[in-house]
Amino acid sequence: MRITVEENVRCAVQDLNTRAKRTVVFVHGWPLGKDIFECQYTVLPEYGIRCVSIDLRGFGASDRPLRGYSYDRMADDLCHCLQELGLRDVTLCGFSMGGAICVRYMSRYKGARVRRLVLMGAACPSFVQRPGYPYGMSREQVDLLISQIYNDRPKAVSEFGKQCFAGTPSTQYLNWFQGICTDAAAWSTIKTAESLRDEDLRADLAKIKVPTAILHGMQDRVCPFQFAQEMNKGIPSSFIVPFEQSGHCLFYEERNKCNSTLIDFSK
């Protein structure tokens, strides 16, 4: 289905197992799409969980406007989707940039409709280094990535994809993963990279008032494990679930552990 989130902008939504009593809402990362969570979609419904997933604007099957890629605007899009579907008491699960957008949603909308929060390899509280925050990429490194996207986007996102895993996925899986990356619009890939560089969520963390599980790969090269520790410090009622064998894509590399955590936490 497609939900109107702004005039002339619709987001694609997948809604599985609609009669289930529990709901997990998935928000993907950069520069991916909702299909990335297929290891969760094939398991969680068997445990009585409704799986709702959203293609952010500019990605997957959603509309691709030239503007609207701030965290505030994308949190607004998420709000429209939750309202349109009439969802309440959900477990909101954001991966990478999607985790950052979920944090902004929780702050901006006071956690409306959300009972529990899962931050999975989240690009939070800041994707780049800042005064008092020495973790992650430098602004210059993100600027270089943006320049590479302008010049050769398929190569840039392909190289990014290789950094997302601690192990070595099959060639077929990696090709599929990178295909999702290149399926996004070039301008949305660039604009959201700029948001990753410019947005700072440190002040948002304390506004999260629901139980929060922080799932993070200890070998994550995209969002280092220190991100999880900083989120844990800033979010009341939060706890870390470390994934020792995973890089960024813990939902794939340790999918059984990820799924069991989601099943148990969403009860």
Positions marked active-site:
96, 220, 248
How many CB atoms neighbour CB 193 within 10 A?
22
Nearest to 163, CA basis, from 177, 144, 179, 148? 177
Burial 224-252 (b: 16+ CB within 10 A, else e): bbebbebbbebbeebebbebeebbbbbbb
Structure tokens at 117: 């929060």
Residues 117 and 46: their CA atoms lie apart, in Å, by 21
